């Protein structure tokens, strides 16, 4: 990894956090920098996975709402009009309008 591809970031750690970081890096045989980068990548991956899961949950909830609305709309129509998509024709609307205007 070249220096042009990275950004220097300084963070303040408590003494306990610093000791933990040093110990963990030593135990794993990696540098503290590598350990921090790995932790950041893992957090980003988990956040993305969580966002994907939330999108899927929202999509599923929306599908349930649509199904409920369609079911209720279908039941609200008289039986002879169920399945046609609407309970009127354009001609009926125009006829009703003409009758109303003729009064």
Residues 73-97 have pLDDT tens digits of 766 666 666 555 666 777 888 888 8
Q: What is the DSSP string of 48-93?
A: HHHHHHHHHHHHHHHHHHHHHHHHHHHHHS-GGGTTSS-S--HHHH
What pLDDT, on the 0 to 100 scale, is given for residue 19? 96
What pLDDT, on the 0 to 100 scale, is given for residue 84? 57
Residues 20-35 have pLDDT tens digits of 999 999 999 999 999 9
Q: What is the mean pLDDT of the chain?
A: 84
**In which region does residue 9 sit, left (phi positive, over 0), alpha (psi from -120 to 50) or beta (all else)?**
beta
Q: Evaluate if residue 70 carries a pLDDT over 70.
A: yes
């Amino acid at each position: 990894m070249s220096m042009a591809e990275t950004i220097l970031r300084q963070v303040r750690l408590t003494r306990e956090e610093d000791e933990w970081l040093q110990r963990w890096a030593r135990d794993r045989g990696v540098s503290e920098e590598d350990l921090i980068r790995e932790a950041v990548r893992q957090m980003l991956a988990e956040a993305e996975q969580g966002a994907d899961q939330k999108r899927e949950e929202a999509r599923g909830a929306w599908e349930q709402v649509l199904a409920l609305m369609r079911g209720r709309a279908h039941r609200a129509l008289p039986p002879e009009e169920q399945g046609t998509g609407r309970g009127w024709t354009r001609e009926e609307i125009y006829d009703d309008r003409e009758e109303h205007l003729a009064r």
